[in-house]
Structure 1
Amino acid sequence: MVGLLGATAGGLLLGVVGVLAAASVIAAVLRARMGARNPELIGNLVQRIGAWWAMVAVLAAVLALGETATLLLFLVLTWLSLREFLTISPTGRADHRTLVWLFFVVTPLHYWFVWEHWYGMFSVFIPVYAFLFLPVRAALAGRTEGFLRRAAAVQWAAMVCVYAVSHIPAVLQLPVAMEHGRHVAEGSAPGSGGEAGALLLLFLLLVVQGSDVFQYVWGKTLGRRPIAPSVSPNKTWEGFVGGVLTATALGAALSFLTPFPWWVAALFAFVSCLLGFGGGLVMSAIKRDRGIKDFGSLIPGHGGIMDRIDSLVFAAPVFFHLVRFFYA
């Protein structure tokens, strides 16, 4: 496997490490000064920063190992997010075989298409073939009670947890398509994504995850008017506008990671942040509907896998196809 971390990507990750180190120092100071007065808040902050250290370390490790390792990581994340999503879904014993197909056939096959750089099948396999097959398999079980609800939950799980998540590592392949043209790139060798792909992936991750952080900060400092109080009372207009604009500026500043001029990088960042906000809002609505606070507890201070990547699952597919359409 060919590693994806060159000097630029490595330097950027070192910069992220520097930010985390500063955050850890600030958290230690806050714990010493305010820990006794507000232990829950400070404890959650420390947990969140610790989880970010672990997530950055894992991402750096798989990028250093190459595209195949990165795809395997996101395959595992897909399985974990599927488990979280379906655990709260209205599926039952009659859907067991349908879920076996989704977990152990549809998902690995879809990721194989991504690994093969087979763009045509990667794009249509789940929205067309799996979309039609899964409800047929569910109908064969013979249970009609709640069928529409159960089938819709499985379809949503396939689209969000498999199809949308897989677009995140698929970003690694975009520079190959840009360099050689979309038709040539569709037959490019598995694992041929290089450092340029890693830089584009880091751009997407930093902008979308940065938008989440900036929206939180702006919301806590200036937030007054909630956007959808019955869905997510902590999301405010002030936090949304401040966070999206700040992350858009970050995208313009990080244009050196991309093959785009700064204004295109800013535009793609803006669109990605809007979609990221939409993803977080939709997932909050799902959690409210199911009466839960988080999708899981795997990531300390953050919740489950889907709690951490809810913004990316909406942003990544649109970012991927915008870049491929206009630049490949």
Structure 2
Amino acid sequence: MQPFELSPFSTLAVGIIGFLLTATLISRLIALRVGSTPTMVNLRDRINAWWVLVGLGLPVLALGKGVTIVLFAVLSFLTLREFISITPTRQGDRVVLFAAFFVAVPFQYALVASGWYGLFSILIPVYGFFAMAAMSTFAQDTQHFLERNAKIQWAVMVCVYGISHAPALLFLEIPNHQGQQAAMLLFFLLVVQLSDVMQYVFGKLMGRRKVAPILSPNKTVEGLVGGGLSASLVGALLHSFTPFSAAQAFLLSVAIVIAGFFGGLVLSAVKRSLGAKDWGSSIPGHGGVLDRLDSVAFSAPIFFHLVRYWFVP
């Protein structure tokens, strides 16, 4: 009888659950000593939210490519709704908004499912860019025409185009890694989200110098360096679950961290410009869905194209 072996995806999933259990226990022990301070309450809410996200996300990823694509399509729809909900629009934008929600989202994810890389990579930034601008002329509403179009196109680029690159990882055919794409997607999500968590922890423990106090008061140099380096080292340690060597996994993790950091910073600037603190309130301790996926929207295309260029024949 052959010994039972977990798949790379299952092993990573067990590790994530174990990490959350450890984090929950440590946070409870610290809370017993220091009490319910604002920082501890925020940390507790974040961990509870992570249990919900992991409890929903891992089973979906385990069910296969089709269900995973549907999940990310729903996430794109929700984040797009959050973005548009705090962005001023006019009646003349209805046709463009309909196209954004009910044409761009399903068409982009249909291309992901088909593995049609050529059209997937240019549909929104090329054809969508010109098509949405053309459609907006039908209303003949010239008031703030450029600003309104730019906001909608930004929303589609971030929420649909950017996020769709995460499930697209499932269709990269890498030699000697066939059938293990789900583990690579989980590796990417783990690094980008662990970076966010560790930046928060390092920032609270030793953060002194603000990176951009007006845009994001909680982001510090110490948090970025400590959290980013921690996430990158974890990425290197997990290289055996990917087609990368330890050094390659570390460098790719650094790219994920940097892109994700600027994703959070850029979208914080967008929120501030629109007079909002969070994109929504659907996830306690995290804000809206886009508050949790801002780093994914920026880092997924970077990671996807780096992997495709260097590792796909």
Same fold (TM over 0.5): yes
Alignment of 1:128-139 (within 5 A): 128-139=126-137
Structure 2 counterparts to residues 187-198 of structure 1, below 5 A: 195-198=179-182
Sequence identity (%)? 48
Greater mean alpha carbon deviation, residues 18-27 or residues 254-263: 18-27
- Give runs of aligned pairs for residues 116-127 of structure 1, distance below 5 A: 116-127=114-125
User: What is the 5 A alignment of 1:15-30?
Assistant: 15-30=15-30
The one-letter amino acid paired with 2:137 is A
Do the aligned residues in 2 keep the contact of 1:200 with 1:258 (CA within 8 Å)?
yes
Shift of 1:195: 4.3
* Correspondence list, 1:292-303, <5 A: 292-303=276-287
Relative to structure 1, the CA distance from residue 194 to residue 43 in structure 2 (aligned partners, 3 Å threshold; closer, same or farther) is farther
- Amino acid across the alignment from 1:75: A
Mapped to 2, the partners of 1:119 and 1:76 lie a distance apart of 21
Distance 2:200 2:39 in 1: 14
Which runs of structure 2 are paired with 1:1-328 in the superposition (5 Å)? 7-35=7-35, 38=37, 40-174=38-172, 176=173, 178-179=174-175, 195-328=179-312
Structure 1 residues 156-196: Cα deviation after superposition (integer angstroms, max 9, x where no partner): 0110000000001111112x2x239xxxxxxxxxxxx9641
Tell me the CA shift for residue 47 of structure 1.
Answer: 2.1
TM-score (ref. length: structure 1): 0.90
Moved more, 23-32 or 297-306: 23-32
- Paired residues in the alignment total 308
TM-score normalised to the size of structure 2? 0.94
Q: Per-residue CA shift, 1:106-127, capped at 9, x if unaligned?
A: 2101110110111111111111
Task: Return 5+ residue gaps in structure 1 as ranges.
Answer: 181-192
Question: 1:305, 1:194 → 2: CA distance?
Answer: 31
Alpha-carbon shift at residue 216 of structure 1 (Å): 1.2
Post-superposition Cα deviations, 1:208-236, rounded to whole Å, max 9, x if no partner, equal 11111111121112211111111112111
Do the aligned partners of 1:6 and 1:195 also contact (CA within 8 Å) in 2? Answer: no
C-alpha displacement at 1:41, in angstroms? 3.8
| Cα displacement string for residues 71-97 of structure 1 (whole angstroms, at most 9, x for unaligned residues) | 000000000000000111121221011
User: Is the Cα contact below 8 Å between 1:90 and 1:149 reproduced in 2?
Assistant: no
Structure 2 counterpart SS, 1:143: coil
Question: What code does the residue aligned with 1:135 have?
Answer: A
Judge conservation of contact 1:47–1:300 (CA < 8 Å) in 2.
Answer: yes
1:184 aligned residue: none
Aligned partners of 1:62 and 1:69 also within 8 Å:
yes
Stretches of structure 2 that go unaligned for 5 or more consecutive residues are: none
SS at match of 2:309: helix
